[in-house]
Amino acid sequence: MLAFITIKFITHQVYLSIEQEHLISRTKVLANGVGRNLDAAILFNDRIEATEILSAFKADPLIARVELNTLNQQKFSQYKNEKITFIFPSKDEETKLAQQSYVFGSQMLYMFVPIDMKGEQIGQLRIAVSLIALKQMQFNHFKLSLLLMIGLFLLSSVFIYLMFSWLLADKSSEEKIEQLEYLATHDMLTELPNRSKLHTELTQQLTQLKNTHSQMAVLFIDLDDFKSVNDSHDHQTGDKALKVIAERLRHTLRDSDIIARLAGDEFVAVLNPVKSAEDARQTSARLLSKIREPLHLGKLQLQLNASIGCYYVSADNALDAEEVIKQADEAMYDAKLSGKGQISEYNQFN
């Protein structure tokens, strides 16, 4: 009995430590992914956009509250899970939190996750995660221990083996992390890659381009006067329209191309490779044509248009992914100034 109790105590501590590490890991994966999408909202003081981005934390029902703070610790925006009662950390927990960026309280895990842009911190996410699931697992563990003690004298060796196997098994953790990674790198509305995923893939393609003699084109696509759709109807109608447009853009491009949603009504397409400027222009024209096709949303019919900015990238390109997107963005604004519904090129095809 003494040996059994000793083993149970040790395995319980190991089990608890593993589950705590998994909880921290899952939360960090989601927080880092969301954080990479908040830089523009922070820089442009767009609290509404920040609140929309923070809604991605709905993916984890255990997250009780997330506060987005600026560097001077002023609250910028927040997400609340109304189904979970938030408990403020004690002074002692606040002190430990400041020292090691996370602390387990009696009812919640408190975490600080920095938001960086180009190596510099521009904000901070303060996250509170409910421990109700962890406590339920501990309670289940306690009940199972009592049952095992009753049958210890008959099946002690078998039960101890099963307990080690069950307690130390990494059940479904990898699958959950993969799901959270997908949510962190894809837009929840359109299921297209988000800004973070686009930045990663474009960086990889820019590196590969240096070893080839091919070129690619980056298209910045912005729907014209899309705000009027939300103003004249509602955000639900606007969301439905964005999902249809996203699907049209996806099916218009090749499998080797990338289409991502940055935010709102802004999309970026990466055409890789392109053999000539005419190839990029024809693809841009097809995209505009698809966007202009009438949208039938129930009894409602909408007619949309867009402006497209194009930036050509060659093997001798010295810009990083963010700078390339910025050049295409500037070309898109030139298209807006030219009367909207236009295609504007920032540079020439080499």
187, 265, 279, 316: the catalytic one is 265
pLDDT by position in tens, the chain (length 350): 676 667 766 776 777 788 889 888 989 999 998 988 888 888 889 999 999 999 999 989 999 999 999 888 889 999 999 999 999 999 999 999 888 889 999 899 999 999 888 888 889 999 999 999 888 887 787 777 777 777 766 777 777 776 666 655 555 866 777 788 888 899 999 999 999 999 999 999 999 998 888 899 999 999 999 988 888 888 899 999 999 999 999 999 999 999 999 989 999 999 999 999 999 999 999 999 999 999 999 889 999 999 999 999 998 888 999 999 999 999 999 999 999 999 999 999 98
Q: CA-to-CA distance for 112 and 128, rounded, in angstroms? A: 9
Q: Is 265 a catalytic residue?
A: yes
Calpha distance 271→285 (Å, rounded): 13
Distance CA 147, CA 16 (A): 20
CA distances from 243 to 56, 112, 228, 256, 264 (A): 17, 34, 17, 21, 11
Using a 10 angstrom Cβ sphere, with 0-12 exposed, 13-18 middle and 19 or more buried, the burial of residue 201 is: middle
Residue with tokens 């929309």: 52
Q: Is the pTM of this model over 0.75?
A: no
Q: What distance in Å separates the CA atoms of residue 194 and residue 263, rounded to the nearest whole number? A: 8
User: 327: which 2 tokens?
Assistant: 């050049």
Residues 75-93: b if buried by 16+ CB within 10 A, e if exposed: ebbbbebeebeeeebeeeb
Q: How far is CA 74 from the centre of its chain?
A: 23
The token duo for 185 is 């790198």
Euclidean distance between CA atoms 55 and 20, whole angstroms: 24
**Alpha carbons 337 and 34: distance in angstroms, whole number:** 33
